[in-house]
């Protein structure tokens, strides 16, 4: 009898083994968060403390892997085609909506599409600020735009790259100001764009607040407005564009994504983990130091936000159109 | 001045505190390693280690990362001299004469001169950084896209003017490099060029895989193709030190390299690489024996090795004085201090004197450490030459592949390295120099971007290059150089280059 029981038990164990493998509890091995930019950027600075906080919750290592290239296209594509099992995630920025639009504009096959991702959560959303060289005369958005109206195509603005995260908000403002024209000086990132404005090679740019703050304090840049719905804590005297009567709102946001097709239960587990992670004191202090306020949204809310945001941005990119080469 | 000394004193009290000393040392050791390993350069090293600094405070973090940066310049010369494989892209020029010296049994001397030159340049340029950072940084801001365009054009003309041998061949190679540099996203329109659907090619062909391919892989292929394996040179201990003659020949090149490197370092882009190219060209032009270049000229090692080290200090000028990066490496270092809530900007020096002066002082200390670390290593590294080639070369190939892969976790980069390796081998067989190709790859994106940015600023009018005084002056200098060349061409006289080519021909016969 005991022998029979032992045999039955063994058989039961054997048959149970593959079943256990099929629905093994998630997560049972290390997770990877792909950051599609080099270390040190805002995506990286968000991903690392998030990974550390999630690690404590899911009891599995969470590895951050920087896959930089093509303005974020390389990393995003690698996650888009990854196995949708919840072990490969993407920390994407607002530019995730812009790259496919750029490809569409040139009639190129996009590296990925927005449909290939499911948002788990939005983590932060920072509105850029309108920063002008302090030696230039404009004291308000109105003065600047009036001047632009008088001298179409003569004022130059810098950006961190064409169709990029700081090109689009400026064009939104110019479109809202009645189809104004300025010259565009694309550079290769936030640092070069800041340098161009400081050296007066360009007059202004839509800067992340953390980059503009030290130069505003030193009296080298003047901040005229922000793209957010409410004023920024770092710039309490700076009005929002909405206050000034321009109907534009824009955020440099970061969110966590998983490839479409990830099982619902896994997505649920990830949402729970991220929801608790953003409450983590260490994560909060890391975000505070990086001067990037947390602006958390759970999956459903995030989806609504992202769809609306992407739709607006797509319209702006279409209106900018193909840039004529000089 | 007195105030500066006082500040520096305070800085040394920070730099000599045990924890800072420790992190400076760790940075220097990692930097040397990163420099020695082919493929992995300072950018890769700093990027890979950045996350590890998030747990440190801002001063420790930046001290360690800077140690990696200038430490890599020390280490980079090692494999260039011993095996003609650049440890990192700024050591490409060292490959030429350094390796030639090694073939003559002077590997130890070349390594020692590279280390001492790096030390002199490192220390000298910190004085420049300390004394001149604020005024120089303000001046550098006046360099906008038109000024950079003019500067790069002048740079290419200077290099073409100074290259010896067949000018057509050098120019053809530079043009090939410029073409290769066109691959990738067009920064001005966002269009993908020559990418053939490979997303990874969006950022273009990296300098690291191309340099390792053209020099390293090509060298290995060329050696493997020889009927008999190259002779293993067994270095003798007493031949390790440079002779009095070699010291004398390297004095001025080190001094010139230091000044050149520092000034070029302030400019954006991959300054440490460009600085080494310019220094090599200048030394060759200035030398009383230009025919020795390519055959083991001491100045061809001393100059570029000093220049690339000095350029690292120059690159810190805009970073510390203005809070704006002059290239990818300072950008990562800025991120490292921003993580700690320190806002880089024009007020950094006033608001964070401890960080600034501690950092400056730690660079002095770090350079001493590197000298102490590297000179004894000369004896050790030279012994690598004793390893038989059938073991050495496969090992190098593995390290190079790992290094190139690690930079972006990209297999595409490994393919680029292998393909350019084949190309380099072919070019060597056909007697083309490959260094101008690397220079072209480095300069192409910079030149193209600044040219087209200038035209965006001027709405398509080329007048912008003559309306701005700095740009106009630089272009006038370039035009003068061309005229000078034409003059001797018209007079049908032999200029120094023709004489040099003749001398080299005579030597070959």
Compare CB distances from B144 to A111, A196, A286 and report the shortest one's residue: A196
Topology (CATH level 3) of domain A129-226:
D-Maltodextrin-Binding Protein; domain 2 (3.40.190)
Enumerate residues 6+ apart whose C-beta is below 8 A from A287: A46, A49, A124, A293, A294
Residue A27 preceded by cis peptide, ω within 30: yes
Q: Supply A5's token pair.
A: 């029981």
Q: Give pLDDT tens digits for B451-473.
A: 999 998 888 899 999 999 999 99
Phi/psi of residue A156, each to 5°?
-110, 135
Give, for A326, the enclosing helix (H) or strand (E). none
Note whether B59 and B20 are within 8 A (CB): yes
What band does B508 get if pLDDT is binned at 50, 70 and 90?
Answer: very low
Residue of A nearest to B409 (CA): A67
B338 has a chain A CB within 8 A of its CB: yes
- B325 versus A303: the higher-pLDDT residue is A303
Q: Give pLDDT tens digits for A89-105.
A: 999 999 999 989 988 88
Residue A64 CA to residue A38 CA, distance in Å, equals 11
Give the orientation angle of helix B353-382 with respect to helix B107-141, to 10 degrees: 160
Closest by alpha carbon to B174, among B151, B157, B150, B194? B157
Residue A50 CA to residue A124 CA, distance in Å, equals 12
Q: Residue B214 gets which letter from DSSP?
A: I
**What mean pLDDT is predicted for residues A271-295?**
91
What band does B7 get if pLDDT is binned at 50, 70 and 90?
Answer: confident
Note whether A216 and A204 are within 8 A (CB): no
- A37 versus B418: the higher-pLDDT residue is B418
Enumerate residues 6+ apart whose C-beta is below 8 A from A49: A282, A283, A286, A287
Is it the case that residue A1 has pLDDT exceeding 70? Answer: no
- By three-state DSSP, how is residue B197 classified? coil
Compare CB distances from A289 to B324, B332, B341 and report the shortest one's residue: B341
Integer angstrom CA distances of residue A258 from A79, A89, B34, B422, B474: 8, 5, 35, 40, 52
Largest CA distance in chain B: 67
Beta bridge partners of A297: A122
Residue A68 CA to residue A72 CA, distance in Å, equals 6
Q: Supply A160's token pair.
A: 């961190």
Determine the pLDDT at residue B8: 87
Determine the pLDDT at residue A15: 47
Integer angstrom CA distances of residue A126 from A39, A93, B168, B309, B339: 19, 11, 54, 39, 17
Interchain CB distance below 8 Å, A161 and B346: no
SS3 of chain B: helix, strand, coil, percent, to 5:
80, 0, 20
Phi/psi of residue B409, each to 5°?
50, 45
B350 has a chain A CB within 8 A of its CB: no
Determine the pLDDT at residue B237: 64
Closest by alpha carbon to B280, among B436, B101, B124? B436
**Quick one: A31-126+251-320 is in which CATH superfamily?**
Bordetella uptake gene, domain 1 (3.40.190.150)
Give the gap in angstroms from C-alpha B464 to the nearest C-alpha of chain A.
12
Is it the case that residue A296 has pLDDT exceeding 90? Answer: yes
B457 has a chain A CB within 8 A of its CB: yes
Q: Give pLDDT tens digits for A158-187.
A: 998 888 889 999 999 999 999 999 999 988
**What mean pLDDT is predicted for residues B237-245?**
80
- B249 versus B490: the higher-pLDDT residue is B249
B190 has a chain A CB within 8 A of its CB: yes
Interchain CB distance below 8 Å, A68 and B408: yes
What band does A289 get if pLDDT is binned at 50, 70 and 90?
Answer: confident
- Range in A284-288, B157-161, B318-322, B432-436 with the lowest mean pLDDT: B157-161
Residue B143 CA to residue B149 CA, distance in Å, equals 10
B449 has a chain A CB within 8 A of its CB: yes
Q: Which long-range contacts (CB under 8 A, 24 or more apart) does B459-464 make?
A: B459/A153, B459/A183, B459/A326, B460/A326, B464/B146
Which residue in this structure is represented by tokens 């049908």? B492
- B363 versus B240: the higher-pLDDT residue is B363
Q: Supply B238's token pair.
A: 């007493």
**What mean pLDDT is predicted for residues B288-295?**
85
Chain B hits for A44, Cβ within 8 Å: 51, 335
**What mean pLDDT is predicted for residues B367-394?**
85
Determine the pLDDT at residue A299: 92
- CA contacts within 13 A on the Cβ side of A117: 31
Q: Residue B91 gets which letter from DSSP?
A: G
Closest by alpha carbon to A255, among A224, A294, A222, A225? A294
What band does A241 get if pLDDT is binned at 50, 70 and 90?
Answer: very high
Question: How far is residue B299 CA from its own chain's centroid?
Answer: 16
- By three-state DSSP, how is residue A184 classified? strand
Determine the pLDDT at residue B1: 64
What band does A267 get if pLDDT is binned at 50, 70 and 90?
Answer: very high
Q: Supply A229's token pair.
A: 């719905």
Chain B hits for A289, Cβ within 8 Å: 339-341
Note whether A128 and A252 are within 8 A (CB): yes
Share of chain B above pLDDT 70, in %: 91
Is it the case that residue B248 has pLDDT exceeding 80? Answer: yes
Residue of A nearest to B348 (CA): A214
What band does B162 get if pLDDT is binned at 50, 70 and 90?
Answer: low
Largest CA distance in chain A: 99
Average pLDDT, chain B: 84
Integer angstrom CA distances of residue B90 from A14, A26, B274, B275, B464: 60, 47, 8, 8, 32
- State the count of interchain CB pairs (< 8 A) between A and B: 157
CB atoms within 10 A of CB B426: 12
Chain B hits for A66, Cβ within 8 Å: 47, 409
Q: How many helices (H) and strands (E) does chain A have?
A: 11, 11
Interchain CB distance below 8 Å, A40 and B50: yes
Interchain CB distance below 8 Å, B199 and A156: no
Give, for A151, the enclosing helix (H) or strand (E). none
Q: Supply B473's token pair.
A: 């002056």
**What mean pLDDT is predicted for residues B387-408?**
84
- Range in A44-53, B291-300, B376-385 with the lowest mean pLDDT: B376-385
Residue A106 CA to residue A102 CA, distance in Å, equals 7
Is it the case that residue B187 has pLDDT exceeding 50? Answer: yes
Determine the pLDDT at residue B232: 66
Asked if the domains at A31-126+251-320 and A129-226 fall in one CATH topology, the answer is yes
Q: Give pLDDT tens digits for B121-132.
A: 999 999 988 888
Determine the pLDDT at residue A18: 42
Determine the pLDDT at residue B502: 62
Q: Residue B199 gets which letter from DSSP?
A: G
- Range in A124-133, A203-212, A217-226, B34-43 with the lowest mean pLDDT: B34-43
B192 has a chain A CB within 8 A of its CB: yes
Residue A284 CA to residue B180 CA, distance in Å, equals 45
Q: How many helices (H) and strands (E) does chain B have?
A: 22, 2
Note whether B279 and B260 are within 8 A (CB): yes
Share of chain A above pLDDT 70, in %: 92
**What mean pLDDT is predicted for residues B398-413?**
84
- Chain B from 367 to 426: CB within 8 A of any A CB: 408-410
Beta bridge partners of A183: A156
Closest by alpha carbon to A110, among A89, A82, A80? A80
What band does A143 get if pLDDT is binned at 50, 70 and 90?
Answer: very high
pTM: 0.82
Determine the pLDDT at residue B240: 75
Interchain CB distance below 8 Å, A199 and B141: yes
Enumerate residues 6+ apart whose C-beta is below 8 A from A117: A79, A80, A90, A92, A96, A257, A258, A259, A260
Is it the case that residue A157 has pLDDT exceeding 90? Answer: yes
Sequence-ordered strand ranges (E) for A244-284: 252-259
Q: Residue B62 gets which letter from DSSP?
A: H
- By three-state DSSP, how is residue A118 classified? strand
Q: How far apart are the first and last CA of chain A?
A: 90
What band does B25 get if pLDDT is binned at 50, 70 and 90?
Answer: very high
Residue A213 CA to residue B345 CA, distance in Å, equals 9
Is it the case that residue A8 has pLDDT exceeding 60? Answer: no
Residue A251 CA to residue B73 CA, distance in Å, equals 41
Strand pairing class (A88-93; A31-35): parallel
What residue segments make up the domains of chain A, in order of their start?
31-126+251-320, 129-226
Is it the case that residue B507 has pLDDT exceeding 80? Answer: no
Interchain CB distance below 8 Å, A40 and B343: no
- Chain B from 275 to 334: CB within 8 A of any A CB: 318, 322-325, 328, 331-332, 334
**What mean pLDDT is predicted for residues B388-416?**
85
- A54 versus B396: the higher-pLDDT residue is A54
Residue B113 CA to residue B77 CA, distance in Å, equals 10
**What mean pLDDT is predicted for residues B493-498?**
56
Q: Give pLDDT tens digits for B323-366.
A: 888 777 888 888 888 777 787 778 888 888 888 888 889 999 99
Give the gap in angstroms from C-alpha A108 to the nearest C-alpha of chain B.
9
What band does A326 get if pLDDT is binned at 50, 70 and 90?
Answer: very low
Average pLDDT, chain A: 88
Chain B hits for A318, Cβ within 8 Å: none
Determine the pLDDT at residue B493: 54
Q: Supply A250's token pair.
A: 């824009």
**What mean pLDDT is predicted for residues A2-13?**
51
- By three-state DSSP, how is residue A65 classified? strand
- A296 versus B328: the higher-pLDDT residue is A296
């Amino acid at each position: 009898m005991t022998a029979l029981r032992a045999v039955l038990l063994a058989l039961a164990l054997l048959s149970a083994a593959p079943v256990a493998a099929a629905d093994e509890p998630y997560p049972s091995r290390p997770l990877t968060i792909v950051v599609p930019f080099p270390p040190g950027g805002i995506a990286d600075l968000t991903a690392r403390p998030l990974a550390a906080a999630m690690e404590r919750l899911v009891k599995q290592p969470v590895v951050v892997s920087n896959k930089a290239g093509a303005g974020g296209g390389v990393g995003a594509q690698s996650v888009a085609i990854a196995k949708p099992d919840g072990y490969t995630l993407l920390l994407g920025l607002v530019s995730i909506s812009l790259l496919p639009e750029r490809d569409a504009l040139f009639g190129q096959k996009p590296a990925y599409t927005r449909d290939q991702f499911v948002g788990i959560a939005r983590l932060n959303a920072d509105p850029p600020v309108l920063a002008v060289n302090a030696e230039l005369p404009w004291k308000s958005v109105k003065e600047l735009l009036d001047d632009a109206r008088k001298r179409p195509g003569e004022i130059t603005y810098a950006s961190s790259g064409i169709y990029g995260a700081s090109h689009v908000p400026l064009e939104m403002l110019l479109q809202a100001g009645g189809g104004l024209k300025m010259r565009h000086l694309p550079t290769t990132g936030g640092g070069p764009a800041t340098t161009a404005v400081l050296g007066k090679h360009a007059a202004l740019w839509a800067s992340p607040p953390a980059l503009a703050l030290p130069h505003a304090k030193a009296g080298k840049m003047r901040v005229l407005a922000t793209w957010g719905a409410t004023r920024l804590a770092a710039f309490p005297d700076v009005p929002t564009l909405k206050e000034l009567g321009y109907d534009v709102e824009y955020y440099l946001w970061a969110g966590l994504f998983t490839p479409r097709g990830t099982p619902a239960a896994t997505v649920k587990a990830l949402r729970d983990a991220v929801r608790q992670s953003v409450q983590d004191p260490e994560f909060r202090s890391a975000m505070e130091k990086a001067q990037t306020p947390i602006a958390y949204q759970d999956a459903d809310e995030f989806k609504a936000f992202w769809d609306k945001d992407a739709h607006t941005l797509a319209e702006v990119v279409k209106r900018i159109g193909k840039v004529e080469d000089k | 001045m007195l105030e500066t000394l006082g500040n520096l004193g305070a800085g040394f009290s920070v730099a000599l505190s045990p924890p800072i000393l420790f992190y400076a040392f760790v940075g220097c050791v990692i930097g040397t390693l990163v420099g020695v390993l082919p493929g992995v350069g300072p950018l890769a090293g700093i990027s890979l280690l950045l996350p590890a600094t998030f747990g440190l405070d801002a001063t420790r973090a930046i001290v360690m990362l800077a140690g990696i940066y200038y430490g890599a310049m020390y280490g980079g010369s090692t494999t260039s001299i011993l095996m003609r494989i650049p440890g990192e892209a700024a050591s490409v020029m060292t490959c030429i004469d350094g390796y030639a010296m090694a073939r003559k049994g002077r590997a130890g001397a070349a390594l020692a001169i590279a280390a001492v030159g790096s030390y002199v340049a490192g220390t000298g340029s910190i004085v420049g950084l300390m004394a001149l950072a604020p005024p120089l940084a303000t001046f550098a801001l006046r360099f906008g896209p038109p000024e950079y365009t003019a500067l790069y054009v002048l740079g290419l003309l200077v290099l073409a003017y100074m290259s010896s041998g067949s000018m057509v061949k050098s120019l053809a190679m530079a043009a090939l490099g410029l073409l290769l540099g066109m691959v990738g996203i067009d920064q001005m329109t966002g269009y993908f060029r020559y990418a053939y659907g490979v997303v990874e090619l969006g950022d273009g062909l990296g300098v690291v895989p191309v340099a390792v391919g053209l020099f390293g892989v090509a060298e290995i292929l060329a050696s493997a193709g020889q009927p008999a394996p190259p002779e293993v040179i067994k270095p003798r201990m007493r031949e390790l030190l440079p002779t009095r003659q070699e010291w004398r020949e390297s004095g001025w090149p080190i001094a010139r390299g230091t000044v050149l490197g520092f000034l070029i370092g302030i400019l954006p882009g991959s300054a440490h690489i460009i600085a080494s190219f310019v220094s090599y060209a200048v030394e060759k032009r200035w030398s009383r024996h230009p025919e020795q270049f390519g055959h083991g000229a001491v100045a061809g090692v001393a100059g570029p090795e000093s220049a690339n080290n000095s350029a690292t200090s120059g690159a810190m000028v805009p970073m510390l004085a203005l809070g704006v990066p002059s290239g990818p490496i300072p950008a990562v270092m800025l991120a490292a201090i921003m993580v700690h809530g320190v806002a880089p900007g024009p007020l950094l020096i006033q608001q964070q004197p401890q960080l600034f002066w501690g950092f400056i002082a730690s660079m002095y200390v770090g350079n001493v450490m590197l000298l102490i670390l590297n000179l004894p290593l000369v004896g050790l590294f030279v012994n690598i030459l004793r390893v038989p080639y059938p073991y050495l070369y496969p090992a190098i190939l593995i390290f190079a592949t790992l290094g190139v892969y690690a930079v972006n976790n990209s297999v595409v980069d490994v393919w680029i390295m292998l393909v350019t390796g084949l190309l380099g081998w072919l070019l060597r067989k056909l007697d083309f120099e490959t260094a101008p190709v690397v220079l072209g790859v480095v300069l192409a994106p910079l030149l193209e971007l600044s040219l087209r940015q200038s035209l965006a600023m001027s709405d398509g009018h080329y007048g912008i290059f003559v309306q701005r005084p700095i740009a106009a002056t630089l272009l006038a200098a370039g035009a003068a150089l061309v005229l000078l060349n034409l003059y001797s061409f018209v007079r049908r006289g032999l200029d120094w280059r023709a004489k040099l080519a003749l001398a080299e021909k005579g030597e070959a016969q």
